[in-house]
Amino acid sequence: MRKILGGIKMGVTTFKGGVHPYDGKELAMDKSIVDLRPEGLMVYPLSQHIGAPAKPLVQKGDRVLLGQKIAEANGFISAPVISSVSGTVKAIEKRLTVGGAMVESIVVDNDQQYESIPGFGEKRDYHNLSREEIVSIVRDAGIVGLGGAGFPTFVKLSPKEIDKIDLFLVNGAECEPYLTSDYRDMMEMPEKLIGGLQVVLSIFPNAKGKICIEDNKPEAIKLLTEKVKGMDNIEVVALRTRYPQGGERQLIYAASGRKINSSMLPADAGVVVDNVDTVVAIYEAVCESKPLVRKILTVTGDAVASPGNFRVPLGTNYQQVISAAGGFSEEPEKVISGGPMMGMPLFVLDIPVTKNSSSILAFKKDPVAEEATTPCINCGRCVTACPENLMPTLMMVASLQKNTERFEKLYGMECIECGCCSYVCPAKRPLTQGFKQMKRKVNAEKRAKAVKAQGGK
């Protein structure tokens, strides 16, 4: 299929399955990013990434600076934590996080001075850096996947066979409804995005870059297409608007035709994928000597007084971010951290912004709470919608029976927990929730078997 986007004729690609929920992006997509300067205590959880929690480098009473590493990576799959303000360490204690867990955290009293470490913000030419030096900078900057997964970025940039990577995809789909922070990134910082992509491509000598954007963002497609004119190693790819187009497997298939599954890494297919803001963060770390100390959040929904996009120092309290958007126009029935399809419902707002925060949504009504679950009518809508071509009807039976063996035989571990099946189900069955529980149960059983095989150690 070919489509005219902002005067540019280009192919539009997608994947099989998926859904088309109301996207709600008009509430905030035209709102420029606003810098937020928080007050009071900043909370830095030591586990805000996939892998081992970071190890504290400071103690109570220490003064810290903006850009200072306050916790170091504690293993290969781990990431350091950097202070986003200057101030005094008040405590190292467990604090509540988005997922409801109490996580060991460093608490810093923000002194509002924003005194930074020496060299913070200094310009640097990546052409003068070796591949190893660039990867080391990204690692020490604490950069992880900022699209929500939180996987340490330097690991992605360190595959076993670098020469076999021939494609680097920038994920600009932003397919979750209501979220617009990546769109604003592309519109306001295209040079940083393209610069970060050029930095990454210098690591992979055989790779070309593709900036992948859904076609409901024609202005971003037009702008970036103009910006990359004359660059033979970068192109912009328009993707058909369809959720979950931004899922890693779906993006890879739509942009390249290559398929991966849960037993593979993208690198196994010669691909590396990073979110738009992650690539911008790479540029800032490598070319501007700025470690990851901020997150761009969308604050929106019909219960938010002034929806917008905010550049927020990591560790900021959610309540302060909501206040920056004018607070609530009326008491919301539902508040979500992240998108409405894959986000986490919030019951308290006294939690910190972390590297894997993406948005705060607030709605006057919670229609899901009013929906009654009824028996499956075998309509097959979930099967049609599943982007992984699974059988959610049969998987749900296995889930209800707690039959992990049957669940695995139905390829239940391939579920990406996107929520498409639950969204289209006329019986309003909690399909995705059931599959999440079963995947955890399967993994727990495998860990128990591994421990038993090692003699219970």
Q: Is 87 exposed, middle or buried (0-12, 13-18, 19+ CB in 10 A)?
A: buried
How far apart, in whole angstroms, are the C-alpha atoms of residue 150 and residue 265? 15
Residue 5 confidence (pLDDT) above 60 = no
Average pLDDT over the chain reads: 94
Residue 136 confidence (pLDDT) above 50 = yes
**pLDDT band for position 147 (cuts 50, 70, 90):** confident
Those residues with Cβ within 8 angstroms of residue 405's Cβ, 6 or more apart along the chain or in another chain: none
Helix (H) or strand (E) holding 283: helix 276-288
CA distance readout (Å), 49 to 82, 112, 240, 295, 324: 13, 27, 30, 14, 26
Average pLDDT (219-230) is 97
Residue 421 marked as a ligand binder: yes
pLDDT given at position 351:
97
**pLDDT band for position 371 (cuts 50, 70, 90):** confident
Scored b (16 or more CB within 10 A) or e, 195-222 reads bbbbbbbbbbeebebbbbbbbbbbebbe
Residue 9 confidence (pLDDT) above 50 = no
**pLDDT band for position 457 (cuts 50, 70, 90):** low
Residue 212 marked as a ligand binder: no
The rounded percent of the chain whose pLDDT value lies above 70 is: 97
Residue 418 marked as a ligand binder: yes
Residue 287 marked as a ligand binder: no
Q: Which domains does the chain have, with CATH numbers?
A: 2-32+121-288 (3.40.50.11540), 381-453 (no CATH)
Average pLDDT (4-32) is 78
Locate 22 and state its tokens: 């109301």
**pLDDT band for position 11 (cuts 50, 70, 90):** very low
Average pLDDT (277-305) is 98
Residue 3 confidence (pLDDT) above 60 = no
* DSSP assignment letter at 31: S
Residue 420 marked as a ligand binder: no
pLDDT given at position 1:
45
pLDDT in tens, 19-75: 999 999 999 999 999 999 999 999 999 999 999 999 999 999 999 999 999 999 999
pLDDT in tens, 168-189: 999 999 999 999 999 999 999 9
Average pLDDT (360-366) is 95
The rounded percent of the chain whose pLDDT value lies above 90 is: 91
Residue 56 has phi, psi (to 5 degrees) of: -60, 140
Residue 376 marked as a ligand binder: yes
